[in-house]
Amino acid sequence: MSLVVVGSVAYDGVETPHGKVDRMLGGAATYVGLAAAYFAPVKIVAVVGDDFAQEDVDLLASRRIDLDGLERVAGGKTFFWAGVYSADMNDRTTLRTDLNVFADFQPKLPDAYRTAPYLFLGNIQPELQRNVRSQMPGVQFTGGDTMNYWINDFRAELLATLAQWDFLLINDSEARLLSGEHNLLRAAAKIQGMGPRTLIVKRGEYGAILFHEGEHFIAPGYLLEDVFDPTGAGDSFAGGFMGYLAGQGIKPAAGKANVAELRRAVIYGSVMGSFCCENFGVDRFRTLTRDEIETRFRELQNCTSF
């Protein structure tokens, strides 16, 4: 079943200890879409300027990614972000953020998108996220991402948005900020009380924790020999998670019936996040095969079972 992904499509400039790329395809919706398309058909909602290159359109279109919702603003420029990573790649410094056409992004869903059963809302203004949700009254599994800025300065809007979500996928520091609890078990309980019955807390290289129906699942991070560029790893995680659920047609509503599938979805998230780091930007997804994904899934099984 198909998955609608709303978020940024952008250009990034990235410097890591392994090298420097001045301008390459990036953005949350790009990473989520490319990762999810290995598992299910994807429909992207985003905005770009007329500087958006045909080769980047071609890459997305060559996968199961519908670009009818990719708005092009004539005379506008595509969102640009540049940053540099620390030597251990645990920190990054933003050098430049030019929102450009993304500053006025008003997501518009083509009619054919409105009946999709799965919706992933990337990190944009909570009110815009709510607006998109309201355009899909029949959606069956909705959720997304947010960030510190919305948690701190748009709390009321964010809470209204979360109240309508089935799941939330954020990192550990955001979970602590949103809940006001340092302890992750307490933080998760509070956040689930805000709406999302399914919560995934990402822990960077350490993996993620899934909270669902009063239980939790600790998912490992895959140990990589080389991390070339962590940009987009969290979004690729989201793509693997949502893509797997959509591909299998799983809607984790009430009950524990689908817990095993949700756990597998989190592992596919971890797998896709790890592949993302193996090359600059989206480059790893140019060559990655479904067989490699399955092999890594089994590797994670082998290195965690006891």
Task: Point out which residues bind its own copies (CB under 8 A).
Answer: 87-88, 182-186, 203, 206, 209, 215-221, 223-227, 260, 263-264, 266-267, 301-306
- Nearer to its own copies (CB atom), residue 4 or residue 170: 170
**CB contact set of 104 (below 8 Å; sequence gap of 6+):** none
CB of 265 to its own copies, least distance (A): 10
**Torsion sign across C-alpha atoms 281, 287, 291, 296:** negative
Instruction: Please report how close the Cβ of residue 227 comes to its own copies at its closest, in angstroms.
Output: 8
Minimum distance of its own copies from residue 230's CB (angstroms):
13
88/291 with CB nearer its own copies: 88
- Give the shortest CB-206-to-its own copies separation in angstroms: 4
**Would you say 38 or 228 has its CB closer to its own copies?**
228
Q: How far is the CB of 287 from its own copies (least distance, A)?
A: 22
Whichever of 219 and 245 has its CB closer to its own copies, that residue is 219
In the complex, minimum distance from the CB of residue 266 to its own copies, in angstroms, rounded to a whole number: 8
Strand duo 198-202 + 92-98: pairing: unpaired
Beta strands in the chain (DSSP E): 3-6, 10-16, 19-26, 42-49, 65-73, 80-85, 92-98, 118-121, 141-144, 167-171, 198-202, 208-212, 215-219
Nearer to its own copies by C-beta: 134 or 304? 304
The CB-of-248 to its own copies minimum distance in angstroms stands at 14
Taking the C-alpha atoms of residue 215 and residue 41, their distance in angstroms, rounded to an integer, is 30
Helices marked H in 70-125: none
Q: What is the DSSP letter of 102?
A: G
DSSP code for 169: E
DSSP lists the bridge partners of residue 118 as 3, 141
For tokens 């909270």, the residue is 211
Nearest CB to its own copies, comparing residues 93 and 301:
301
Q: How many CB atoms lie within 10 A of CB 253?
A: 12
Nearest to residue 107, comparing CAs of 66, 85, 135? 135
CA distance 179 to 190: 6
Residue among 53 and 224 whose Cβ is closer to its own copies: 224
The three-state secondary structure class of 258 is coil
